[in-house]
Structure formats: structure tokens, C-alpha cells
Amino acid sequence: MYKYEGLLIHESHDDDGILEVVEYQGVRSLHFGSSAKQSSIRLNAEHKLELDYVRAMMMWLVFVDQPEKALVIGLGGGSLARYLLEQFPQVQIKVVEYRKSVVKIARSHFGLPLDPRLKIFIGDGGDYLRKRADTLVDNFQLVFLDAFDHEGMALSLRNQAFFDACKLVLSSNGILVMNLWSSDKPLFEQIAWWLGQIFDWRILFLPVPGKGNVIGFAFSEQVPKQTIRELRKRALLLDTQYDIEFSTFFKEFKRNNDNILNRTILS
């Protein structure tokens, strides 16, 4: 059976709807009942990040060193968590995923490993963080937000209390990284306002070229500031080290944030 132009290799249902795994031209993708790809993996290059927006989320590496602890809200096929485990041997990752069936598919179809450095909690990401923030103060160098269903961002993340909790659990040199959809302009503008208020406007946005995704970055107060030259040089070095187009993304960063770079990350 074919669906979304590809071969449907798995279909199941849970209380929250349909889950589909489709293969097309050597790429396996997870869908939640629509053509939107929740996660993808190239079968002959499983170690690489396939989707542009997930590679763009790795731009945090231009600004800070390797992390020790990361929190991921929204697992999908697990490509981001798997990549972090592969590239950073010292990292400890905590993932919060709403749907237990998504975790099963990430393991069975997308290569998410059983690894003692990876802890997965089943539950609502927004509720989890708001209820536990006081016990996780300054605990994570990185917090990743990528919690979407077929209709958009999870409702429990759409409030200022959630982003207050994100700021609380970040270390003083930590970075919040989140996937946003530019098509939902009111929500995008509201989240940008919340982030600006909470992080004292130390925020940047990276539109992913040719896509509807915008990756938001919010910086804690002690993220080291650098010059444009230093950041550009680091992006070029990272290009080859991680096989990700950091220098291209950096150009987009500068082009879209030129008027606020000095206040945010530049020395």
C-alpha cells in the first residue's frame, strides 16, 4: 500500500490517533495521519540527520561546547536523541514523550538504541516540566522542544509558565532550542514575546531555508559571547566535523538577526 508518495510499511493506532511509517526513495519517515514528516532516517546513512530542521537545531554547537545533560521534549522517531548519543559520549539525555506507541516505533523502525545514557518518560512534556522544574534547577545545558502532532504544537507548551520552567531548568550557560512553524504567525509571535521577556531578549531565530520551520534559540545569561569572526570560523570547522551545513545556517542566522546579534551573543 502506498501513502504520501511512499510505501506504507507500518500502521497502528493509539488513543491519540494514527501512526504511520512510510518509505520513499530510501528515506523512512514517521507520520501522524498527515503528510507532515515527524521524523525521517535515510536507510543507507542512518548516522546522519536527514531533515533540514533537525540539522538546524544543532546550531547550538556554534555557541557552546559539548553538553553533559540535555532534555528533549517530544521524541518523534528519535533522530535528535540518537544523534546526540552517537556524537557526544558523555551526554546524559532525558526525553519526555506523550505517546508510548511513538517510543516503540522509534525503537523498532528508527534505530533508537537502548542506552543507559538515555532515559525516556511517558507523559505530557508541559506538565512534566512545570511540575518538576523546582527539582531540576540549573540541571540542563540544553533543552530541546519539538512536540508536535498532526495539528501543530502541543497545547501544554503554549503558555508562559512552561517557558518559565524551561528557563529555570537551564544551567547559567545553557541554551533552549525549539522548532516552530512559521505558518502559525500568532503563535510564533506570542512565543517570541514570552521568550524575550523570560530570557531578557537574548533570543535568535533561524528560518530553515526552503522550509516552513523556524528554529528558536534562547540563551542563558552566561553563554559566552564571541565575535562574528569567531562564530563564522567555528561554523566552518563544524561543517566537516559533523557533516552539517553550519556555515550556511550561520549566514541565515546573521541575515535574519543582524539587528539583535550584538545584544544577544556578540562580544
Q: Which of 15, 16, 65, 146 is catalytic?
A: 146
Cβ atoms of residues 169 and 140 within 8 Å: yes
Residue 33 CA to residue 50 CA, distance in Å, equals 20
Residue 66 CA to residue 86 CA, distance in Å, equals 13
Residue 137 CA to residue 238 CA, distance in Å, equals 30
175 has which bridge partners? 142, 219
65 is catalytic: no
Contacts of 170 (CB under 8 A, 6+ apart): 138, 140, 141, 143, 176, 220
In the structure grid, which three cell numbers stand for residue 171, read together?
544551567
Tell me which H or E stretch contains 23. Answer: strand 17-24
Residue 76 CA to residue 222 CA, distance in Å, equals 31
Enzyme catalytic residues: 146
